[in-house]
Amino acid sequence: MNETSGMLELKTVDAGYGSFQALFGVSIGVNAGEAVAVIGPNGAGKTTLMRVISGLIRPSRGSIAMEGADVVSTPAHRIIGLGIAHVPENRRLFPRLTVEDNLKMGAFMPGARARCAERMAFVFDLFPRMKERRNQLAGTMSGGEQQMCAIGRALMSNPKLLLLDEPSAGLAPVQVLKVVDRAYLLEAGSIRAAGTAAELQGSDTIKQAYLGIEEMQR
Amino acid sequence: MTEIFDIYLLEAVINGILFGGVLALLALGLNLIFGVIDVTWICYAELVMVGMYGMYFLVSVYHVPYWAAAPMCILLVAGMGALLHILVIQPLLSAPPINQLLATGGVLFFLQSFATVAFGIDFRNLGIQLPVLTFAEMNFSYSRLLSFAAALVGMIAVYIFMKRTYTGIAIRAIAQDRQIMALMGVDTRRIYLITSALGGALAGLASCLLVLQYDVHPFVGLSFGPITFLICVLGGLGNFVGGFVAAFVFAEIISLGGLFSDLEWGYVLAFGFFIIMMFVRPGGLLARRS
């Protein structure tokens, strides 16, 4: 992989929770304008990887750069200002705030506040359902509607990089590979394979690791 | 005979509502701190005591007009709230709740003792005697009417702040999901500080109003502290609407209890009601389904 001029670059990142290490020397890159998937079985460290990029946890080793800016030394609440928005696992909406207030929270940064109305119009355009439900409490909506709201909230800051944790929950990995440009296979906290979506679709490593299919006939 | 009695009853009901306004204001301040920062300021009423002393000195000693002294006093107590957060709460944020309780309890005794040493145990008052409004054979003191109106304005201002501003929305959001606030670009430390100052400002407003009706002394906090806590617990700690409702329930029990017997019996009834309610609805009047 050639990752010399990526928008987001992680180099040999170790991270974990307390004494439990979840990521081991992970190096990945994302270029502007491309869709990249990180696939892997449950407990592989996908959520930890997202959390370490958005600053919810800090790496114990390695570097993270967003357009050349050092993410690791940036205070967590300023990372969104670098253009990184994170839709966390289980959406994590504010259940007793209205849809509109949830979206406003996504535009909390002073820079985004000024363009809040414009961004909200964009989100309502993308998800007309959210416009209908703008005064409803987020916790009372269906799962699909909450997912729209969570993605809308992340888009409010006009991010350059959108991190989606398990947007495809329930979909087969093959389906994910159909909509992305590139993918990484994360297994037990390490990158096991990387390549274009087409390359990985045919890969035996993917079939074995992700689907748990041992091809014993061979 | 019955007709006169009804007038007294109505007067007591209305006085209960007027009393409830200031109690609701105090409960809102305490609930705000509890709901957002998840700590209990045991010394909340002592901040009110300091504010009342502030009003006393500004108005009676330095002859600042009441209307000018009030905002100064609100700012003073707001600053104390922020200081309390920085000096006592912030270092203990991840400590066990009992340590936080004991620390703010320590501040309570510190402030009481400090006031005793600095100002003595004399009862002092502003010497402002507001007239009494007589309406349909009922008497209401202007100080109570003014207090109620100002408390209501204060609560409406907080409501608008919480509904309309980004900081207000963040204050409500932080009580619902603390961990992901950083993803929204919210600096939780800053929100905690603003909330503490706001809680202090509400105590400051209450002190400006209570000083019109009560004498100031180092232990005046005991007159409002325990009842404010009971109101917050009865309404469900951190539940703003519950606290508002519970304040008026308590005020009415005290006021009506005082009508049928002595004022002290009103308090006995109110506290008895509280104990029974803790068995019936331990989560508070408007317990949130979780």
Token pair for residue A26?
Answer: 């992970």
Strands A20-30 and A8-17: antiparallel
Domain boundary among A109, A141, A159: A159
Contact between A209 and A187 (Cβ < 8 Å): yes
Compute the nearest-CA separation of B151 from chain A (Å).
Answer: 26
Percent residues over pLDDT 70 in chain B: 97
Read off the pLDDT band of B8 (50, 70, 90): confident
Residues A50 and A155 in one domain: no
What is the per-residue pLDDT for A214? 43
How long, in residues, is chain B? 290
Residues A6 and A105 in one domain: no
- Please indicate whether, in this complex, the C-beta atoms of A77 and B186 are within 8 angstroms of each other: yes
- Please indicate whether, in this complex, the C-beta atoms of B172 and A80 are within 8 angstroms of each other: no
The answer on pLDDT for A156 being more than 60 is: yes
Read off the pLDDT band of B125 (50, 70, 90): confident
More confident residue, A200 or B166: B166
Compute the nearest-CA separation of B81 from chain A (Å).
Answer: 24
Question: Worst-scoring range by mean pLDDT, A22-31, A92-101, B188-197, B248-257?
Answer: B248-257
Compute the nearest-CA separation of A140 from chain B (Å).
Answer: 13
- Range list of H helices, chain B: 2-37, 44-56, 66-84, 97-119, 142-164, 166-174, 188-210, 221-235, 240-260, 263-280
Contact between B235 and B286 (Cβ < 8 Å): yes
Q: Number of A to B CB contacts under 8 A, please give it.
A: 60
What is the per-residue pLDDT for B131? 79
Segment A129-141, tens digit of pLDDT: 999 999 999 999 9
Percent residues over pLDDT 90 in chain B: 65
Q: Is A94 on the interface with B (CB under 8 A)?
A: yes
Q: What is the mean pLDDT of residues A108-112?
A: 89
Residues A135 and A173 in one domain: no
Residue A88 lies in a domain: no
Enumerate the residues of chain B whose CB falls inside 8 A of the CB of residue A54.
182-183
The domain limits of chain B are: 11-280
- Please indicate whether, in this complex, the C-beta atoms of A88 and B183 are within 8 angstroms of each other: yes
- Three state DSSP letters for chain A: CCCCCCCEEEEEEEEEECCEEEEEEEEEEECCCCCEEEECCCCCCHHHHHHHHHCCCCCCEEEEEECCEECCCCCHHHHHHHCEEEECCCCCCCCCCEHHHHHHHHCCCHHHHCCHHHHHHHHHHHCHHHHHCCCCEHHHCCHHHHHHHHHHHHHCCCCCEEEECCCCCCCCHHHHHHHCCEEEEEECCEEEEEEEHHHHHCCHHHHHHHHCCCCCCC
Residues A97 and A143 in one domain: yes
Residues A138 and A186 in one domain: no
Residues A58 and A111 in one domain: no
Burial class (CB in 10 A: 0-12, 13-18, 19+), B268: middle
- Please indicate whether, in this complex, the C-beta atoms of A56 and B173 are within 8 angstroms of each other: no
Contact between B78 and B70 (Cβ < 8 Å): no
Q: Is A83 on the interface with B (CB under 8 A)?
A: no
CATH code (residue A12): 3.40.50.300
Q: Which residues pair with A161 in a beta bridge?
A: A84
Residues A16 and A4 in one domain: yes
Q: Is A112 on the interface with B (CB under 8 A)?
A: yes
Residues A11 and A46 in one domain: yes
| Residue type at position B227 | I
Read off the pLDDT band of A215 (50, 70, 90): very low
Contact between B224 and B45 (Cβ < 8 Å): yes
Closest Cα in chain B to A96 = B176
Residue A190 lies in a domain: yes
What is the per-residue pLDDT for A1? 42
Q: Which of A56, A80, A88 sits opposite B185 (nearest CB)?
A: A80
What strands lie across the sheet with A190-196, from one edge to the other? Answer: A36-39, A182-187, A190-196
Residues A79 and A166 in one domain: yes
Segment A6-49, tens digit of pLDDT: 899 999 999 999 889 999 999 999 999 999 999 888 888 999 99
Q: What is the mean pLDDT of residues B77-97?
A: 94
Residues A18 and A79 in one domain: yes
DSSP B128-195: ----EEEETTEEEEHHHHHHHHHHHHHHHHHHHHHHHSHHHHHHHHHTT-SGGGGGGT--HHHHHHHH
Q: How many domains does chain A have?
A: 2
Q: Is B170 on the interface with A (CB under 8 A)?
A: yes
The answer on pLDDT for B259 being more than 90 is: no
User: Which is nearest to B186 in space by CA: B198, B172, B174?
Assistant: B174
Q: How many CA atoms lie within 13 A of B261 on its CB side?
A: 9
Q: Which fold has domain B11-280?
A: ABC transporter involved in vitamin B12 uptake, BtuC (1.10.3470)
What is the per-residue pLDDT for B55? 95
What is the per-residue pLDDT for B68? 95
Instruction: Please give the residue range of the domain that contains residue A132.
Output: 93-159
Enumerate the residues of chain A whose CB falls inside 8 A of the CB of residue B187.
75, 77
CA A58/CA A73 separation, integer angstroms: 9
Residues A155 and A166 in one domain: no
Enumerate the residues of chain A whose CB falls inside 8 A of the CB of residue B172.
94, 96-97, 101
Q: Is B186 on the interface with A (CB under 8 A)?
A: yes
Q: What is the mean pLDDT of residues A46-70?
A: 94
Looking at every residue in chain A, the average pLDDT score rounds to: 88
Q: What is the mean pLDDT of residues A163-170?
A: 78
What is the per-residue pLDDT for A216? 43
The answer on pLDDT for A213 being more than 70 is: no
Residues A69 and A110 in one domain: no
DSSP B220: T
Q: What is the mean pLDDT of residues B151-162?
A: 96
- Please indicate whether, in this complex, the C-beta atoms of B184 and A105 are within 8 angstroms of each other: yes
Residue A147 lies in a domain: yes
User: Which is nearest to A149 in space by CA: A174, A170, A130?
Assistant: A130
Contact between A17 and A57 (Cβ < 8 Å): yes
The answer on pLDDT for B144 being more than 70 is: yes
Q: Is A152 on the interface with B (CB under 8 A)?
A: no
The answer on pLDDT for B233 being more than 80 is: yes
Backbone φ and ψ for A172, nearest 5 degrees, come out as -70, 145
Q: What is the mean pLDDT of residues A160-187?
A: 82
